Structure 1
Amino acid sequence: MRTPGVATLEEGSLLGPSFFLSRTALRALALAHRDSYGVAQPYPHVVIDGFLGERLASGLAEVFPGATGADWKRRDHQEQAARLGQLQRKAFEGVHGALRHLLSEFSSMSFLDFLETLTGVQGLIADPHFRGAGLHLTLRGGHLALHADFNRDRFRALSRRLTVLYYLNPGWEPAWGGDLELWNADLTRCETRIAPLLDRLVVMAHGDTYWHGHPAPLECPEGRGRAAVAAYFYTAEASPDAPEAHSAIWAPTRS
């Protein structure tokens, strides 16, 4: 289902960063997709095309750093190979301002409201540190084995609830591979494949049997890569030691 972009853009500016997610448009988008999110197989997720609009998405893709365009950390292991990431280690220094702005918008009130309306999960908390998330680039031959994501933010004692992926790959060819695969709980079959197409947003629930990845090596041309922006969202757990909530306590008025 293709939808209109949900960002407003100042006239004459493409990569200001002068775009902001529209709370009204996002709410309408969430309401349109929330039923399909809940019944999706093999676990709750939704795929939304045309999220920001082709013009803005194409501009973001143009400034997405290539293999030598940023201080990437490269992973080459059995589980994942030719995968670049970890730009948050230096607070995304050197990354184009429009991409940094997009990351901020993914932590905004408007986007959190969108996710809560879409998924029904209330009290979502963004991660401004983007631990394990942020910008990812997978090169030719790279892959990501099937896995279930880490479940806790140990630094803030939060439980992970949602993963958001936004793809910036213009002209991506099916023969290149790179589809996000969603597998059933007992790992007997892939139930959903999601191509990493330009301006495609994926929202999916977290679970310890929610297997996903792109396990086949990429066959894109040299010089191309699978570009993704990732953000993770959490909730706080109730604590029996937490004080009872109250409103502001006003000091007595002195006569």
Structure 2
Amino acid sequence: MSVLLNGPIQSHVSENLDEYVRQFNAATPCRHVIIDNFLDTEYAEQLYADLPGVDGMPKSRDYMFSDKRELSTLDRHSQLSRRLHDVFMSPEFADWLAALAGHRVFVDPEYVGGGFHAGAEGSFLDLHVDFNIHPAHHDWLREFNILLYMNPGWEPSWGGELLLTDDPSAPTISVEPLFNRLVIMESTDKSFHGYHKIAFPSGRERRSIAAYAYSHVPAGSIDRRTTTWVPEDASPVKRALAKNWNWLVLTKNKFLGSGTLKNRR
């Protein structure tokens, strides 16, 4: 199987699609695939230099469960980021994702909860599974997390590896957040992921670009779930909050709306 991808995407992404599908379906603990050198090298370097400054990115609304920043403006940050947006929105990329999913999926064009992510010194993200139904579209079911890492010269001592597990009490596998590495992972009620506190050098942040793929489902056919947290080595108070987080956030959203939708300033 071959899908011709337009734009600044390396040719192997299309040429090796069958192998990526095989790797995705064989991967444990949750299905995922790792694609190195996803973007044309020159373009990836330009995109990295053009990333938004951390001070201009809102803090994540995950509160005590994370310390990172998010800005969901990949489509309008710059002409360079718009090129990547155009790839994610293209019919060719939709066909490529459909080969992984086994059915039609599409990328959220507004990157709710996604877009540019950055974590400075001490940043962390507790283990969690993501919300399943889109905050603004009750007939969109989340299928994939699409994570492009942008960390040139990354060293193991910096930390920040993506942790994946289907059981928070069991060992995780870790994926190094290397520059120009794309990770696509399924999003289910058991696809727990996160990263431990980082120690990046002064003036450097853990950088990534996130997009999320969805499929259409009948509105109301699936119970809505917000982010489910399972923090490690947490205080009793934090564990109690995590246990009740779904109810608390869904109740808050009912009256005040979703805070995640506000990260497009």
TM-score (norm 1): 0.77
Give the structure with the larger strand fraction: 1
**Where in structure 2 are the equivalents of 1:9-158 lying within 5 Å?**
19-21=7-9, 26-68=13-55, 71-75=56-60, 77-81=63-67, 83-88=68-73, 95-117=77-99, 119-156=100-137, 157-158=139-140
CA deviations on 1:73-112 (whole Å, 9 max, x unpaired) are 013732001x111343xx765x332013212311211111
Following the alignment from structure 1 to structure 2, what is the Cα–Cα distance between the partners of residues 65 and 35? Answer: 35
Other structure's SS at 2:46 match: helix
Match of 1:171 in 2: 153
CA separation of 1:233 and 1:92: change in aligned 2, threshold 3 A: closer
Match of 1:206 in 2: 187
Match of 1:159 in 2: 141
Other structure's SS at 1:142 match: coil
Select between 48-57 and 141-150 the one with higher mean Cα deviation.
Answer: 48-57
CA separation of 1:20 and 1:110: change in aligned 2, threshold 3 A: farther
Match of 2:230 in 1: none
Unaligned 5+ segments in structure 1 are: 1-5, 9-18, 240-255
Letter in 2 for 1:236: H
Contact 1:165 1:202 in 2 (8 A): yes
Residue 176 of structure 1: CA displacement?
A: 0.3
TM-score (norm 2): 0.74
Give the structure with the larger helix fraction: 2
Q: 2:211 aligns with which of 231, 234, 241?
A: 231
Q: Which has the larger radius of gyration?
A: 1
Contact 1:162 1:206 in 2 (8 A): yes
Cα root mean square deviation, aligned: 2.3
Letter in 2 for 1:99: S
Residue 209 of structure 1: CA displacement?
A: 1.2
Unaligned 5+ segments in structure 2 are: 220-265
Contact 2:134 2:140 in 1 (8 A): yes
